[in-house]
Amino acid sequence: MLAFCLAAAVAPTAVRAADVPNVLAQRDRTIAGGRVVQVIVPQWQITTTIDIGRVAGDADSGGGGLLGAIVLSSLDDKRKALSRASFDRAEATIAPLRKALQGFDVDAMALATSKAALAKPAWFQPSSVELSKSRSLDVPTAESAQAAMITYRYETSPDFTQIRVIAEIELRLAGAKPGGKPVRDPSYRQQVSSIVLLREPSFEPAENVAKWSAGDGKLAKAALTSAFGRLEQLIPFALDLSESDLKAFTSKGREKAFAAGYYGPLIERRADRPGETLIWKAGLVNVQPSAD
């Protein structure tokens, strides 16, 4: 499936995600002068996602040459049309939820979560934690040897059965490239996803939105609060991961589990919170049921 995320775009980085370490070596954890931290929430409201399946088989099914080019162009046009139609439906469906969440300060929640999370690893030493709507700390500053960024996005799943809060953590070490240019490529990146599942969901997206939105968005607000609350625990957990941890997560005999449509190595099922599951899927993915 080809997924289109309608969240606000974040400026692309110069290196591929696969080339950036998702484990911070012990030697790189303690930094003289601590770290300047920027908390980035580029959105102004909750977004949704849409899924566009294959329109007419594989891209190479139309053959080569001019005919193939015409067929591929036609497929692209169909995908664009389907994408636009799905986008318009999703925007209309999510409107009641957006209205219910007006005035709910997600930015403040992201800032508070980041401060609490980054205070947990004794080695992290945030020298300052500031909120922003856009990325502005491309390189370390004079006050710190390392810049850290946590970019949050919050969204629903395409069927509106999930509310997701996703945090991408990035660190950029001080230093210089040949020619004296500053280091702009990240030295560490990790993604952590916190997902809340709607209890007793409907097959009808509008009905799911109605459940999240009822009572001035009571359930949606509780879901966002729970999702950020879990991130307060998971961000330091992610920062403390080692190479041996990742090897253990991806070992051949490791038990795997499904969680909110994701499938990956099982890290934890919490006995004290029935239905909550933590898996590894190119990053930590935590899934918990919504409030009753």
Q: What is the pTM of this model?
A: 0.81
Report pLDDT digits (tens) over 33-66: 788 899 999 999 999 987 765 333 333 334 445 5
Helical packing angle, 65-100 and 205-239, nearest 10°:
90
4 pLDDT band (50/70/90 cuts)? very low
Band of residue 134 on the pLDDT scale cut at 50, 70, 90: confident
Point out which residues pair with 176 in neighbouring strands: 182
User: What is the per-residue pLDDT for 181?
Assistant: 53
What is the mean pLDDT of the segment spanning 100-124?
A: 96
Q: Pick the residue with more confidence: 30 or 75? A: 30
pLDDT confidence of 15, banded at 50, 70, 90?
very low
Tens digit of each residue's pLDDT (9 = 90 or more) over 85-104: 788 888 999 999 999 999 99
**pLDDT surpassing 80 at residue 12:** no
Predicted confidence at residue 195, as pLDDT, reads: 97
pLDDT at position 160 over 60: yes
3-state secondary structure the chain: CEEEECCCCCCCCCCCHHHCCCCCCHHHCCCCCCEEEEEECCCCCCECEEEECCCCCCHHHHCCHHHHHHHHHHHHHHHHHHHHHHHHHHHHHHHHHHHHCCCCCHHHHHHHHHHHHHCCCCCCCEEEEEEECCCCCCCCCCCCCEEEEEEEEEEECCCCCEEEEEEEEEEEECCECCCCCECCCCCEEEEEEEEEECCCCCCCHHHHHHHHHHHHHHHHHHHHHHHHHHHHHHHHHHHCCCHHHHHHHCCCCCCEEEECCEEEEEEEECCCCCCCEEEECCCEEEEEECCC
Q: Which residue has the higher pLDDT, 190 or 292?
A: 190
Residue 190 has pLDDT above 60, yes or no: yes
Q: What is the pLDDT of residue 69?
A: 56
Q: Using the predicted structure, report yes or no on whether residue 139 has a pLDDT greater than 70.
A: no
Residue predicted with more confidence, 137 or 7 = 137
Structure tokens at 90: 């999703």
Average pLDDT, the chain: 82
Residue 34 has a pLDDT of 81
Residue 187: pLDDT band with limits 50, 70, 90: confident
CA atoms within 13 A of residue 123's CA, in its CB half-sphere:
12
Give pLDDT tens digits for 234-258: 999 999 999 999 999 989 999 999 9
Amino acid occupying residue 136: S
Phi/psi at 120 (nearest 5 deg)?
-75, -50
Residue 156 has pLDDT above 50, yes or no: yes
